[in-house]
Structures are given as structure tokens and as C-alpha cells.
Structure 1
Amino acid sequence: MTIGVALIVGDTLRRRWHTDSPGTRGQEFPLLAAREQAARSTAADSTLASQLTLPEKPSIAVLPFQNMSGDPEQDYFADGIVEEITTALSRFPSLFVIARNSSFTYKGKSVDIKQVGRELGVRYVLEGGIRKAANQVRVTAQLIDAATGVHIWADRFEGELADIFRLQDDMSQRAVGAITPMVEHAEIERMKRKPTHRFDAYDFYLKGLASLNLQGSKDAADEALQMFYRAIDLDSGFASAYGNAAFCFVRRLVNAWMEDPKKEIVEAERLATRAVQYGSDDPVALTSGGFTLARLLGELEIGEQHLHRALELSPSYALAWTHRAWIRVFQGRPDEALPDLNRAMRLNPRDPLMPGYFSVMGMAHFVAGRYEEAASWCEKAIQVQPKFLPPLRTAAASYALAGNLQAAQTMMSSLMQLDPRRRISTLRELYPLQRNRDWELLTEGLRRAGLPD
């Protein structure tokens, strides 16, 4: 499938959005520095209590499965399968499911299941291993009561790669059945709806997720986009691939990586529209597609409707709660955004990307007129991730409006080093603020801090 769109997004995409033939998998992308990762984990731990209260619902975390293939290049597959199982479980309203990012803080570590239960605030833990060889896949899994350490069940699932969706279904149903045996049939059927019936498309999709999860890297974002496009090439109705491809453009915008914003936003709109059109019952597609429409196109009400639907389908989907919080901030409803954000943080208590939550918190308090509190939250984000542009902007404006021009100018100095082309005149593309008052205060604060017109 082609669309005749040629945009320039650096060498990684070879000037291809969706026109050139697929290339080979590119260079390996470095992970974030160990020091930064450790600081992020520390920030997350200091924000939430070290021992969380168990939710009223049965609660579960899916830990990273061990890659037993003997090939590190297959890590993406094992990680992707775990992410898909997590997403499937999060569709059950009767469960409280910890988000992928928090669970993956334990990857590669020897863990004490009881400690995991305390740190994530869950009763059950699902762990296992995956072996992929030729066209065969074997998955072993065990469900453990984190309070006692007792194994509730353990099983092995085998089949051809083409059967991977059935294997995921079997494993998820066994876990749900052991925890909540009275789960309604309709919920189980909804979980079985798979994003694509083509394994080759699904494989590229999992590679895209692996790159997309490498936050902070432009190369990784470009790689993710190329993988999602290749998945779409193979399945033109792959809603989740459209949604995540659209979200890559949001990542490009907020990190000042766009080279032709007008053309790229047009392409993002195309992808997001397809995502919500094809994925009306897909929380991943609705979340990524809906948020892209809100963030890049300013369609806040439409975006919120898609996020609301995503949360109806998947009440434990932390990213949907976070994105809806952002939309409510942009709508001038900060005090409604904060409960959404608190829910997301509880679902994702050890997220290495906790600065993102701090950034939303900061912007919510800014829109509410609480400038000192806004600056404090942004400082937490910047302390962990000094090159994170959104909290730098919010902090600069907050300090300026609070009367602390020295701190505001310090933030602006860092901001201009990272985003030297930014001007007051180009802020609209970053902030789809619905209320004129919020826009005027933001621009005034940044102008006082030293952002040129």
C-alpha cells in the first residue's frame, strides 16, 4: 500500500513515510544511560509509597518473560508478547493490572516475588519464558500469589508462530480464570480480539514497540515509525500500528525533531484517523490515535471521546489515563486532570519515565494558576531528565509569573540550547490550549523568561 507522501525525516527513514520499499533493520539504538535510569527509578520510588495498598479488585503484574531462544535479537519478541498479554488482561474491568513500564523495571533481575508484590501493590504476579525457533514458539508461565509465594498454576503453551494469538489467549484466560473465576463470557470474547491476523505484520509491530519504548532517542523513534509502516504495508487494516505510527509524530513534535511540521502533521492526521476508524474496539489504537488528534490537530473533544472509549474497554490502561489528563489540561480542566493522572501513576508506580507524569502535573498546576507548585513538579522532572523540553518550558513560564525571573531565565537558557529555533510565534503547534486565558499566560510567562517573539 502506498500513499504518495514523501517527507524528510532524516536518513533512518530514507525519505520514506510510506512510498519507498521497506529497508533492512537499521543500527542498534543505545539504551538510556544507567545513571539516568537509576535516577528515574529513584524519582518514581520517592513519589509513591514503598508499600502500596492493595486495590479492592484482584490485582496482577506481568513480569518480563525470559528470552530462552539464546539470541538477544529475539528480546523484542519476548517483550512484545508480555506487553500484549498485559494489554489483554487490562481489558478486564474486574482486574487491576500494573502497566508494562513498571513491570519492566525488573527485567534481567533476580526478583523476590513477595517484594515485587509489595513494591507494585499487587496480589498476583505472572512470570515465564519464551523460546522462539524457526516457525515454532514455546511459552512457559506460572501465576504466583505474591503474598505467600505459592504457585497457583504453571503451564506450557506450544505451537507454530502463526498460533501466537491463540497461545496468548490461552495464557491470559488461565490467569484470569484462576484469579476471578466468575469473569463474564463477554469479557473473554473481547480480550480475544486481536490487532491483526498476519504474523509477519505483527512481528514488525512488536519491533516497532521495542523501539518506541526507547524514550529520548530520535533514532529509536524513526526506527519505530519505519517498523509500524512495514506492519501497515502487510495489513492495511492494522489499527494499533496506525495509532502508534501517529504517536511517533507526537514524539517528534514535543522533542523538536520535526523537519517539516506542516507535512508531518498532515501525515499524523491520516494515520490517527485510520487508527480510530479501524480500531473502534481497540484501546491501543483509540488511545494513540485519539491523543494524536488532540495534541497535533487541536481536536480536544474528539480526542477525549476516543480516550473515554479506550478506558471503557481497558480500565487498567495507564497510558490512556495519562493522555486523557493531558487533554483535560489543554481544555482548561486541570482539577479534573489530576485524578486521571493519579490513577495512571498508581497503575504504573515504578515507571522509569516518571518525569512524564511530573510534566503533566506541572502543566495542570500552571493552568490552575498555582505557579510555584507547577515549578516544583517541573523541577522534579528536570532533575531526572535535564533535556526534557515540556517541563523546561512550563518551569520557565511558572517561575516568571511567580516573580522569580532569575530561575525563569536559567530554565530558558537550557531550553534555548536544546530548542534554539523556538519562538513565541511557533508555540501554538506545541500547546493546543482551548482557553485564551491559558494561552496568554503561557506566552507572557515565556516572554518574561526571555523567549523571543
Structure 2
Amino acid sequence: MEGRRSFEKALAIDPNNVDALSWTASVEAALGLLFLTDHPLEHLTASEAMVLKALRLAPDHPWAHFTLATLLINTNRVAQGVAVCERALTLDRNLADAHVLMGIAEFYRGCGADTESHVNQALRLSPRDIFAFHWMYTAGFAKMQVAADLEAAAWFARGIEANRNFPDLHFGYAAALALLGNLDEARAAAKTGLAVDPTFTIRRVRSVPARGNEKFVAGAKRFVKGLYIAGVPEF
């Protein structure tokens, strides 16, 4: 990843560069959480070490707080993560990613129906944001938790229009279509996702442990079920 290499170069020059530490931590978190690796825990551990260092150097850095909140919420420390995310928003009310993260916390609590409003708030703040495609993925995944598969498919399709090169959108779309019974379309979406990321497998999804309450775990299992039906390889 070009961005990752740039941040690493910045850290080689100055190991205490807070922006580089925070953004490298964000990249490591993404690798660990978005089914982009078969060894997610290694990336999550590296991310947390970096962001904690960044916060020791700059306790009021909004993006560092956001990154730490991302790690906490996604590793079964939701209440603590929400508090850190609220701190990020106190420091920067227009930090759209933090609004989405509050929505992510909702579906980890099993309240996926409440996620969409947070995503819409972020889109109002930054409608052309370079990360908007991922926010749409978040909304789609949350809709699958509450079995609103038609709405999930619509969010995934919208995300694909924003960024056709993010494989998780194609796999989310495939899973939602499969659960709706649209098997030909689901298999076509899965095939497109595999063209973007040929290494993607259901095992990789399972390697990121389902964290959250019973409703979250059930939603994650629905996602995996949809992937199976759509023909995504297990290994």
C-alpha cells in the first residue's frame, strides 16, 4: 500500500511524528479488521502500540483518539471505545469518521437499526469524502444484522458505485443478494469481488473473531451464510 509506505518513510525520518504514527496505526487497524489478511491480530497489536505512543506524544490529537476508539470498539471494548470516540468528537465535531464509528458501536451492541442515522450524519458532513464507500459498507453490514437484506444490498451497491476497488463491498453485496434468493446476481457479485481480491476466503472472515453481543454474532453468521450461498471459497 502506497500510503503505508509513505507513513513508514516519515517514521524512519522521525519516529515521533504523531501524524505518521496515527495514520500508520489506522492502516494497521484496517488490515486487521477488513478481512485483508490471514493474520489480523498481528496488525491489531501493532496498531494499538502505535496509537498509544501517538497519544502519549499528543494527548489531544483527534485522529489518534479516533483510531484508538476504532480498535477498542472492534475488540470487544465497546464502552471504553465509545468514550474515546466521544473525546475525538469533542476535539473535532466535524470528524465524520468518528460519527460513523459511533454507528459501528451500535451494531456491536446489537442495535444495527440505529447505525444508519450515524452514517447519514457523516455523509451530510462530508458527502464526497474519500472514505464514504466504507461508511456505506458499514450501513450495509448493519442492515444485514437486522435482516433488512434489501436495504443492505442497496447500501452495498451505493458503496460499489463510490469505489469499485473495495472488495468487501462486493462480498457484502453478494451475501445480501444470496440471502434474498437472487443467486445468479449473488454469484456474479462474488466473482467480481474475487477478481478484485483473489485471496479472499470465508476462512479469512472467520479469522476476525465475532465480537459483540448475541445479536452481533448472529448478524456476523448471517453474513458468512450469505457468502457460502454466493459461492465464495472457504479456503
1:413 deviates by 0.8
Contact 1:328-1:334 within 8 A present in 2 as well: yes
1:446 deviates by 0.8
User: Which of 388, 397, 402 is the matching residue for 2:166?
Assistant: 388
- Mapped to 2, the partners of 1:232 and 1:300 lie a distance apart of 32
- Mapped to 2, the partners of 1:349 and 1:323 lie a distance apart of 16
1:379 deviates by 0.9
CA gap 1:245/1:288 in 2 versus in 1, 3 angstroms = same
CA gap 1:293/1:244 in 2 versus in 1, 3 angstroms = farther
Contact 2:44-2:71 within 8 A present in 1 as well: no
Structure number having the greater helix percentage: 2
1:447 deviates by 0.9
1:224 aligns to 2:2 (yes or no): no
- Mapped to 2, the partners of 1:451 and 1:340 lie a distance apart of 30
1:287 aligns to 2:70 (yes or no): no
1:310 equivalent in structure 2: 88
1:449 aligns to 2:230 (yes or no): yes
Contact 1:293-1:300 within 8 A present in 2 as well: yes
Q: Which segments of 5 or more consecutive residues in structure 2 lack a partner in the other structure?
A: none
1:281 deviates by 3.0
Contact 1:321-1:343 within 8 A present in 2 as well: yes
Q: Which amino acid aligns with 1:372?
A: L
CA gap 1:256/1:386 in 2 versus in 1, 3 angstroms = same
Q: Which amino acid aligns with 1:378?
A: F
Q: Which amino acid aligns with 1:337?
A: T
How many residue pairs were aligned? 231
TM-score, with normalisation over the residues of structure 1?
0.46
1:339 aligns to 2:117 (yes or no): yes
1:387 deviates by 1.9
Contact 2:7-2:21 within 8 A present in 1 as well: no
- Mapped to 2, the partners of 1:257 and 1:369 lie a distance apart of 25
- Mapped to 2, the partners of 1:347 and 1:232 lie a distance apart of 33
1:330 aligns to 2:111 (yes or no): no
Q: What does 1:7-406 correspond to in 2, within 5 Å?
A: 218-227=1-10, 229-230=11-12, 232-233=14-15, 235=16, 239-253=18-32, 258=37, 261-295=40-74, 297-406=75-184
Contact 1:272-1:290 within 8 A present in 2 as well: no
Query: Residues 99-120 of structure 1: CA distance to partner in whole angstroms, max 9, x if unpaired?
Result: xxxxxxxxxxxxxxxxxxxxxx
1:406 deviates by 1.1
Helix, strand or coil: the match of 2:200?
A: coil
CA gap 1:404/1:288 in 2 versus in 1, 3 angstroms = same
CA gap 1:412/1:400 in 2 versus in 1, 3 angstroms = same
CA gap 1:432/1:253 in 2 versus in 1, 3 angstroms = same
1:280 deviates by 4.0
Q: Which amino acid aligns with 1:359?
A: Y
CA gap 1:261/1:433 in 2 versus in 1, 3 angstroms = closer
1:157 equivalent in structure 2: none
Contact 2:153-2:173 within 8 A present in 1 as well: yes
Q: Which amino acid aligns with 1:226?
A: K
CA gap 1:256/1:333 in 2 versus in 1, 3 angstroms = closer
TM-score, with normalisation over the residues of structure 2?
0.84
Query: Residues 382-441 of structure 1: CA distance to partner in whole angstroms, max 9, x if unpaired?
Result: 133222122112111111111111111111111222223332222145575423211221
- Mapped to 1, the partners of 2:117 and 2:52 lie a distance apart of 28
Contact 2:210-2:217 within 8 A present in 1 as well: no
Q: Which amino acid aligns with 2:28?
A: F
1:239 deviates by 4.7
Query: RMSD of the TM alignment (CA)?
Result: 2.6
Contact 1:225-1:248 within 8 A present in 2 as well: no
- Mapped to 1, the partners of 2:141 and 2:25 lie a distance apart of 23
**Which has the greater radius of gyration?**
1
Structure number having the greater strand percentage: 1
